[in-house]
Structure 1
Amino acid sequence: MRRPRIADNEAMSKQFKGKTCAYCAVAGASDTADHVLSRQLVAVEHRGTIPKVPACAACNGKKAALEAYVNAILPFGGRHSDALGNLTANVPKRLERNRKLHRALAAGQTRVWSREASGLLVNATALPLDGERVEQLVGLIVRGLMCHHWGVALGSDIQVDTLSLTKRGEAFFDQYAKLNAKQRIANDIGEGALVYGGAQGVDNDAISFWKLSLYGGVRMVSGDAKHSTSSFGVMTGPKAIAERAEAKLANGKYIIRLT
């Protein structure tokens, strides 16, 4: 029974070779199929729902390095149904293979006051987290989702901005979710491992707005404990448009509305 499955996997991998890489958009560069969300963050019974996209060796390696870091830390703050099972079954083995990270987490462990969605302040255990690495991974996930759902690969001329959303930031992205869109997508992978919604621009396929949460909305707190976030916002679009907007802002051609 296992041999046909291996043969099927090999055939599936060949389907993704020689394609445009979902992450760098280089035509014909893909070497393999990449899971948009790391399989290690999803319970075994849900892994078949993770989208696959073509990826080149360089992008696959870069994403794998970010995933190795996130996979070892994120489960500690997981809030979805499979979080505890993944934490107890898999994280100790991952940290055993990465003693340096294990020591850094142990040394940086502390307690902070964190405000829950209900408004209640909770004194919780906190671990150090490299937010930039998490945001880089989220940006790559969005690139993969755009390729999987809409067939759009974002090249070097496209800007991908990833933000850890505060409450005000969430309101900003929720406004854009109501605007006209060419296509929309909403999905939940792994019963909370990755929940996302995206809207594609009407006039340009590379323009999009996304809102995502990982692991049931892992709560991340700023160093001064004044700000927290449990979701990410991602905007994509041509760099030329972003550069023109920044130039207008620098020249004082925009004003701030106070009402």
Structure 2
Amino acid sequence: MASKKYRNKTCVYCGEAAVAETADHVVAREFFSMDTRANLPKVPACRDCNNHKSQLEHYVLSVLPMGGVHSGAPAAIVNQVGPRLAKNAALQRALLAGQRDRAIMTPDGRWWQGMSLPFEAERLATLGCYIALGLAWHHWRVQIAPSALANARSFTAAGTRFFEDMWDRLDAGGRIAHNWGNGVFEYRGVCVRTNPRVTLWQMSFFGGVELADSEKPGQTSRTLFVATNDDPEWIAQRGARRAGGRASIGLG
């Protein structure tokens, strides 16, 4: 049950008033080890949004930790991924069928002979949009939905440079950077001073899992970028609250 602090409030994720039934963790507690779950931020959420976000989290947590490069990666695979896959035979078969040998570059620039697994990147992108909406409310009490749209994507090197330029040029009304769970989830965000519903976010999961775009051979990314905007033209160009596609995660 949600505490009175969150019950009957506006849902942070869909923006509908007086429908919140629960206090949702912006990033699910299951992302983190038992000793790093304290004081995770919570936001008011309706039942439908909470259920949809939970489905995304379940899939992401069943696959993405296998590409983790943070200190807790081995324990996460044993304690989290193993039990989840044991209950999902269809996902096990899909991962086995899509497994490929490939060279993997570590975050420090070294190459290893490893393998990749198929990953539905659109689910991570959609989850990233939910997280951005939650973080904006948590840090700045900015209610982005429903008047603004969130859009997520992974950038290559050129796209990252464009993001960095935008980050530096924004007239910021607030900036935040944080690391939860010793590298499990790291992010930074900025909102525009004159319109706080315009925000930029950069996120990494499990120390910076390497994501390879199936449509862009040889190009990889270790971070997810999310932007929110209430400009009608910007929204019309995107048309949905997510962006993504088929991808693979690199396993060292």
Normalization by structure 2: what TM-score?
A: 0.88
Residue 30 of structure 1 corresponds to: 20
Question: Whose strand proportion is higher, 1 or 2?
Answer: 2
Deviation at 1:245, TM superposition (A): 8.2
User: After the TM superposition, which of the residue ranges 154-163 and 235-244 deviates more from structure 2?
Assistant: 235-244
Residue 249 of structure 2 corresponds to: none
Conserved? CA contact 2:102–2:113, under 8 Å = yes
Residue 182 of structure 1 corresponds to: 173
Verify: 1:236 aligned to 2:228, yes or no. Answer: yes
Alpha-carbon distance in 1 for matches of 2:152, 2:196: 18
Counterparts of residues 147-226 of structure 1 (less than 5 Å): 147-179=137-169, 180-223=171-214, 225-226=217-218
Deviation string 1:62-115 (CA, Å, 9 cap, x unpaired) is 000000100000110111122211111121111112111111111211112234
**Aligned positions, number:** 236
Residue 96 of structure 2 corresponds to: 106
Verify: 1:134 aligned to 2:124, yes or no. Answer: yes
Deviation string 1:129-161 (CA, Å, 9 cap, x unpaired) is 001111111111111101111111222331211
RMSD of aligned residue pairs (Cα, Å): 1.9
Quick one: higher RCO (CA 8 Å, sep 6+), 1 or 2?
2
Residue 227 of structure 1 corresponds to: 219
Alpha-carbon distance in 1 for matches of 2:96, 2:31: 22
Instruction: Please give the secondary structure, in 2, of the residue aligned with 1:213.
Output: strand
Conserved? CA contact 1:49–1:189, under 8 Å = no
The 1:43/1:118 distance shift into structure 2, 3 A limit, reads closer
Larger Rg: 1
Instruction: Please give the secondary structure, in 2, of the residue aligned with 1:216.
Output: coil
Identity of aligned residues (%): 34
Alpha-carbon distance in 1 for matches of 2:235, 2:52: 27
User: After the TM superposition, which of the residue ranges 109-118 and 231-240 deviates more from structure 2?
Assistant: 109-118
Verify: 1:72 aligned to 2:62, yes or no. Answer: yes
Alpha-carbon distance in 2 for matches of 1:28, 1:22: 11
Question: Whose helix proportion is higher, 1 or 2?
Answer: 1
Residue 21 of structure 1 corresponds to: 11
Q: Which runs of 5+ in 1 are unaligned?
A: 1-9, 247-259
Deviation string 1:210-250 (CA, Å, 9 cap, x unpaired) is 1111110000112264110100111111141515889xxxx
Deviation string 1:147-177 (CA, Å, 9 cap, x unpaired) is 1111112223312111112122221222222
Instruction: Please give the secondary structure, in 2, of the residue aligned with 1:191.
Output: coil
Alpha-carbon distance in 2 for matches of 1:118, 1:82: 18
The 1:124/1:25 distance shift into structure 2, 3 A limit, reads same
Conserved? CA contact 1:112–1:225, under 8 Å = no
Verify: 1:45 aligned to 2:35, yes or no. Answer: yes
Residue 87 of structure 1 corresponds to: 77
